[in-house]
Chains A and B, each alone.
Chain A
Amino acid sequence: MAAATSSSYPPPPPYYRLYKDYLDDPESAPEPPPPVQGTYPLFGASYTTDVVLPSLEDQGVRQLYPRGPNIDLISLASDFKLELTTLNRDLQLHILELADILVERPSQYARRVEDISLIFKNLHHLLNSLRPHQARATLIHILERQIQQRKQAVEDIKRRREEAQRLLKEALQTLDGHVA
């Protein structure tokens, strides 16, 4: 079994033998395994089923904006926008710095380029952390639209029912008028 999981061309899993009599007796074969939870290894790398954006530290990238409540899902909206605009300004300054360095000491470009790429990584990480908020906003929008549609349907049904009842009453009256 160990050879089967660690060789470079592993054979297919031997579980197919258990399903030999599946056509005759569906109960004799084992149930499919339950979905994986938590972390699982795949081709030597470890993956997680937890759908969460890994923090920058996990990716080994230095974080430029301060920690605290503003990082956790935008409890203070103004801080978030402020961080983005600050990072943008820092980016422009760094680009300018790079241009200067290239004029004066061209051999030292590497550190500046690294700084610029760091700023970009921080920018993208901030924008990615906006996505859960956007998902909730979409959900709110969908719920509101559904409520509005249902209210509309209720109104329509009420109207049609009343109209139908009115027609029925009128028809009865004309019938009575003819018979009587």
Chain B
Amino acid sequence: MIPSFEAAGEDCVRIMDIVSQLQEQVNAMALLAMNTFGTLQRDAPAVRLSPNYPEPTANASEETIGAEYPKTMSAALVEAAKKFDVLVTALPLSGEEAQLKRIAELQEENKAVGLELEKQLEAAGMLFFYHTGVDILHLLVCL
């Protein structure tokens, strides 16, 4: 099964193609890393940089509250990396030549089927509909 994830930040759920999902996942990882380091930097206690200044007073009570952030954030980072790997394995990749060959085959088949369709239409006396589009034909046929 191909995993499908919704486009981020939208009201309606829309499933993206796999390449866009991969790109979104890369951006999400960057965002997570940025938030992690930003939070750590913001909540870090003061550090003594030079012997000329006294040791900063470490308020232990406030710092312990920030102890759970690194755990949840790093867990989220690892989660995101795993999701990326899952998406990569779900990539339906094939060689370029195989694709081009398939396209050529399909074009041949399409031409043949088109000729047959034209013949049938002619027999039914509705040739002009072929040139205006097969959808109108469907409308007529389904009446």
**Chain A residues within 8 Å of B, Cβ to Cβ:** 73-77, 80-81, 84-85, 88, 91-92, 95, 98-99, 102, 116, 120, 123-124, 127, 130-131, 133-134, 136-137, 139-140, 143-144, 146-147, 149-151, 153-154, 156-158, 160-161
A sample of 9 inter-chain contacts (CB < 8 A) reads: A76-B95, A81-B93, A91-B81, A127-B26, A134-B19, A136-B100, A146-B110, A150-B110, A161-B120
**Chain B residues within 8 Å of A, Cβ to Cβ:** 17, 19, 22-23, 26, 29-30, 33, 36-37, 40, 77-78, 81, 84-85, 88-89, 91-97, 99-100, 102-103, 106-107, 109-110, 113-114, 116-117, 120-121, 123-124, 134, 137-138, 141
Give every chain A residue within 8 A of B40 (Cβ-Cβ): 99, 102
Query: Do A127 and B96 touch (CB < 8 A)?
Result: no
Q: In the complex, given contacts A74-B95, A131-B19, A151-B113, what are 5 additional A-B residue pairs having Cβ atoms less than 8 angstroms apart?
A: A85-B85, A123-B26, A146-B110, A154-B113, A157-B141
Give every chain A residue within 8 A of B114 (Cβ-Cβ): 150
Give every chain B residue within 8 A of A140 (Cβ-Cβ): 99, 102-103, 106
In the complex with contacts A77-B94, A81-B89, A133-B96, A150-B30 CB distance below 8 A: no
